[in-house]
Every structure is written in C-alpha cells, then in structure tokens.
Amino acid sequence: MFANLKVKEIAPNPDQPRKFFDEAQHEELTASIKGNGLLQPVVVRPVEGAEVPYMLIAGERRWRACSAAGLEVIPAKVIEGATDEEAYVLSIAENVNRSDMTIMEEAGAYADLKAAGWAPLKIAKQFGKTETHITWRLGLLTLRPEVAELVDKGQIKNNLAWHIAQLNPANQMVAAMRYVRGDFDSEAEAQHFANGLKMMEAQTSLTGEEVPTAEQQEKQKKAKAKTKDGLGKAEEVLIPLLEELAETKPEDLAVILGDDLARHLRVVGRLYAKVQMVRNLLSKAQGIQRAQVEAFNKAAVEVQQAAAKKTEAKPEEAEAEKPASKPRPTAKKAAPKPAAKTATSAKPTARRAPAKKADAVAK
C-alpha cells in the first residue's frame, strides 16, 4: 500500500545496518529533492503504541534528505505485519549492494542475521552472494576497532583485512601499521607477512623447530650454494639475453628467429610462468622471514624488560635481608652488659647494711 505520510510521522530504524552517511552525497541528494521532489518512495511499517506511528524499513538516506530539503509530506510504501526480522532483512537488501555501505557495516548486518539463526548459505542466497563472500565478511568481525576503522576508510583493502583478522589483537596492529606506513611493495607482500605472523602464533618457539643437526646444517649449506650458483648463472646469461631481445624491434625478430619464433614464444611463456611462481614463493618466504624477525624482536624486548624488573627488585631484597643477618651496632649500646652487672651487685649491699645495724641494737 502506498500513502503520503508526514516526515514527522516516520522514525528511523535504530537497528539500521548502515551507520555512516556521506555528507557530500547527502547534500547532493538534498539539492536534487529540492528541485525534483522524492522520486522513489521510502519503505515503512506501522508501529503500534509508539510515539511516532511509522518506522523506516528502507530509505533512511532519502528520508534524511527530504527533512533537510524542508518537505513536510513524502510518498511511502507501507508494509503491514512485517516482523522485526523481516524488516531488518529488507533493510539489508536495500543497502548491501550500495557502494557507500562500508564493509564493516555489511559484516555487522550478516552477523546479526547469523545470531538470529541464519546459516551463511541462507544469507548468501537471500542477498545473491556466495557463501565464501559471507564467511569472509563474518571473519572481519574479529578485527580490533582501530584496524576496522582503517578498513572502513579504505586504507586497508578487503582481502588483506581478512588475513589480518586471523591474527591476535597485538599482531593485527603490527601488520596494519606496517602496511599503512608503506613497509611493503604490494598488498600481496603484506598478506604474506600476516600469514607469517600467523605461523609464528601457532608455534611454541621462534622457529617452531629443533636446532638442526650437523648433517642437516650441511645439507642446508649445499642447497644454499646451489641456489646461489643457479641465480648467478641466470644473472650472467639469461637476463642479458632477455635485455637484448627486449631492445630488438618486432619486425627484426620476425626475420632473425624465422621458424623458431613460435618455439621462442613458448619458451619465454613457460619461463614467465615459472618466474611468477618463484617470485610468489620468494615473497611468501620473505613474509615468514619478516614475521620471524618481528617475533624475535618482541621476545627480545620482553626478556630485556624482565631482566630490568629483576635488577630493580634486587636492592629491595638486599635491604629486607640485611637486618636479619647482621644486627645494628646501636642495639648493643642501648643495653650494655657492664651497666647491668653494676646495678645487680649494688642491690645486695643495700639490703645487708640494715641487717647489721639491727644486730647491734639487739646487743
């Protein structure tokens, strides 16, 4: 049912999934409504016993702009008998595909439905998403508020945000801050670093392995020398060859290579694929290495702090033990033994003197 309702008769939904409204877009929409009126009706439902008779289901941005434009009456679609859950689903459906709905708002809306008993697959079907999309969005809700704000502002991309969300709160800040300040050449490098931190969290030691034996160390040494030698040959032979080819004009290569052109193209294609694969592996290894350094530095700081606390506690312990082991000299002066003996010997003499006088009087 459609009706013309007063703007004052409509109240916003306090459970509206969208919390952020862009000010510039709001002003633009307000200007459009002033000139052309409201072209798309808002969606409301009646609320019995409330001070305001209708509550918004969809169209809060339009309702706000109508109010700012000074409109007193606006067109509305009234849905009778809609439950709180149905109204909330309709509200999400209107906003979930809008570009101005932040990713964290979307995640929060899905979380509310999940709390109401909706499975991720059901949510996905309801809003035309994949189950993976819903699961990844829900995974973002473990982000600490500071990092979630960076994601909402677009300073951290969605995929990287998910990898960061898998970390504990302290490491989330480490990964986010290092990415924002430009420590990585690409988002992929930042993801590899986050994955490396996750590996460190799952391990009981900085490396998660026992100290290698002499035989293992020897194997590692040989593998390193072989890899270094292979990369050296690539630098000496392959890179100059590719540089030479890159400087040659296509029409000249067509003549020079002749029938071998197709074979060269296949070889370079295979080489390119392998280089991309190896580069990705090396980037992952670099992420793990950076995470190991981060974990080592953190552990080193903790050890230094513990040692500093122990050093500060030692003087206090020494002061507490000192009176018990060695009495202070002033204690001896307070009650000297010679003075005690003098007082004791003087008392018997004072008692005997009256006794002798008593005998003389009796005689």
Half-sphere exposure of 13 (CA within 13 A, CB side): 27
What is the C-alpha separation between 324 and 274, in angstroms, rounded? Answer: 75
Alpha carbon of residue 144 to chain centroid: 5
What is the C-alpha separation between 1 and 155, in angstroms, rounded? Answer: 44
CA distances from 208 to 199, 201, 211, 339 (A): 9, 10, 10, 73
94 has catalytic annotation: no
Q: Are 6 and 98 in contact (CB under 8 A)?
A: no
Q: Are 187 and 176 in contact (CB under 8 A)?
A: no
What is the C-alpha separation between 176 and 155, in angstroms, rounded? Answer: 9
Contacts of 159 (CB under 8 A, 6+ apart): 187, 191
Complete edge-to-edge strand list for the sheet that includes strand 54-58: 2-6, 73-78, 42-46, 54-58, 10-11
- Measured from the Cβ of residue 89, the count of other Cβ atoms closer than 10 Å reads 21
Return the exposure string of 163-177: e unless at least 16 CB atoms fall within 10 Å of the residue's CB, then b. bbbbbeeebbebbbe
Tell which residue, 114, 148, 146, 154, has the closest CA to residue 131.
114
What is the C-alpha separation between 19 and 152, in angstroms, rounded? Answer: 11
What is the C-alpha separation between 218 and 212, in angstroms, rounded? Answer: 10
Q: Are 184 and 284 in contact (CB under 8 A)?
A: no
Which of 60, 105, 106, 294 is labelled catalytic? 60
Q: How would you classify the pairing of strands 42-46 and 73-78?
A: parallel
Residues annotated as catalytic (active site), given as ranges: 60
